[in-house]
Structure 1
Amino acid sequence: MSYRSDVPSLQIDSDPEELCFEYTFSHRSNLVGYSKAVVYMSCPDADDMDVFVQLRKADVDGNILQNINIPLRDLQLKASEVVSINTNKYLGPSGILRASHRAIDAELSKPHWPLHSHLEEQKIPPGTVVKLEIGIWPSGIVFQPGERLVFKVAGHHMTLAEFEPLRGGFMTSNKGTHVVHMGGEYPSHVILPFVRV
């Protein structure tokens, strides 16, 4: 599976070129803590990649949800009237990694949280598959039966802009297509911390 990595991102939660993988829950589940994405990726068009991942919650109808950070009674607004900026709405935990900085610091990393050394730049020959371990910020999300977890991968930031004038201003150095490899020798997966409450 692939996506175009260099499309402009307006950071309004409707950008194109995002890969989405879904899981539907059969029973109540509580995700609490740090998650980690392990993805095997390549880029036939460049020697580096900025990769963004995100976890989202979707309702039983598949609608991807947003969380309004301020109680509506205090805002005195309808949900549809709340401006879509990062200070007002939370979309879900995310992670970022530039592939040339994928080297792991083995001493400081934890099984659930990879720390990258950033001591050297390891460019990737175009088309070469590399393993990327991307830490995802901790969160707490409750899923009811029929609700879905959506894992997203893209070449652009998937959080909302901090302020409206900043929309479209976040730039990466991405070029061309990014390919996510899955199965066989490329076991791409996401590690998720579920707890019983």
Structure 2
Amino acid sequence: GETEGALVTEAPKKVGSLSYSASGMTKAGVASASWTSTVLAGALPQLGVSFETSPLGADTEVTGPVALVLWAASTTEDMDIFATIRNIDPDGKDVFEQGQQGQPVPVAKGWLRASHRRQDPALSLPYRPYHAHVEREWLKAGEPVQVEVEIWPTSMVFKKGHRIRLDIQPRDGVGSAPYTHYCADYNTGTNTIFTGGGRASYLLLPVIPKK
């Protein structure tokens, strides 16, 4: 699918933003962006926003924990965040790995409901937010907040010419089966991701230097 933004090593100087709807459902009546709904309902429009690097100039190893730091807002009191890191080959196709049950999976995933963004400072690390989950801190419509999402650790060599892609979606993304989330109170409305300036969202990747 198409991407709306670029993954770059330096934040833009000016604040920008990208908005997307979190309200879509499929004709099958399940979460719009889930792998399962794609099987049930056929090809679906992409939900959320995606960011992608330029083609990599050399093989690039990413090994360790990953964190996504977002400045985000919603028109509603909460926001579901599903993050997926993908390995895209020169032909624009996903390079999948094999999951625990033999299913094709992307590089790594993470998810968080924005109202659970409060962290435990004693247990959190710069590269691994640890969320307290003791109370919900509701959003105020249109007011940006910082949300740190833990993405599961990975070890992957992205080949020269490949691209690293980040999807931010309101539902499960590509390669979620058999662990798709089904929740009766998925949040809806319009979500906004901010970029650059004093509200620079970023993806913290553990890139291993070449010897």
Bucket of the pairwise TM-score, normalised by the shorter protein: 0.7 to 0.9
AA aligned opposite 2:182: F
How far does residue 39 in structure 1 lie from its aligned partner after superposition? 0.7
Instruction: Please give the secondary structure, in 1, of the residue aligned with 2:198.
Output: coil
Instruction: Please give the secondary structure, in 2, of the residue aligned with 1:149.
Output: strand
Q: Is 1:143 equivalent to 2:151 in the alignment?
A: no
How far does residue 160 in structure 1 lie from its aligned partner after superposition? 2.5
Q: Runs of 5+ in structure 1 lacking a partner? A: 71-85
Identical-residue share of aligned pairs (%):
28
- Runs of 4+ off more than 4 Å: none
How far does residue 10 in structure 1 lie from its aligned partner after superposition? 5.6
| TM-score, scaled to structure 2 | 0.77
CA distance in 2, matches of 1:54, 1:122: 24
| TM-score, scaled to structure 1 | 0.82
Q: Is the 8 A contact 1:87 1:162 kept in 2?
A: no
Q: Which residue of 2 aligns with 1:3?
A: 20
How far does residue 121 in structure 1 lie from its aligned partner after superposition? 1.1
How far does residue 11 in structure 1 lie from its aligned partner after superposition? 2.3
CA distance in 1, matches of 2:104, 2:172: 15
CA distance in 2, matches of 1:105, 1:10: 31
Q: Which residue of 2 aligns with 1:78?
A: none
Q: Which residue of 1 aligns with 2:52?
A: 22
Q: Which residue of 2 aligns with 1:67?
A: 97
Q: Is 1:170 equivalent to 2:193 in the alignment?
A: no
CA distance in 2, matches of 1:69, 1:97: 21
CA distance in 2, matches of 1:178, 1:65: 28
Q: Decide which moves more: 31-40 or 89-98.
A: 89-98
CA distance in 1, matches of 2:199, 2:86: 24
Deviation sequence 1:140-175 (CA, Å, 0-9, x none): 111121101001100001242218xxx7x7235211
Q: Is 1:193 equivalent to 2:206 in the alignment?
A: yes
RMSD of aligned Cα (Å)? 2.1
Q: Which residue of 2 aligns with 1:40?
A: 71
CA distance in 2, matches of 1:116, 1:17: 26
The alignment of Structure 1 onto Structure 2 pairs a total of residues equal to: 177
Rate the CA distance shift 1:143–1:20 in 2: closer, same or farther, 3 A.
Answer: same
Match among 61, 84, 87 for residue 54 of structure 1? 84
Q: Which residue of 2 aligns with 1:161?
A: 177
AA aligned opposite 2:47: E
The structure that has the greater radius of gyration is: 1
Instruction: Please give the secondary structure, in 1, of the residue aligned with 2:51.
Output: strand
Q: Runs of 5+ in structure 2 lacking a partner? A: 1-17, 25-30
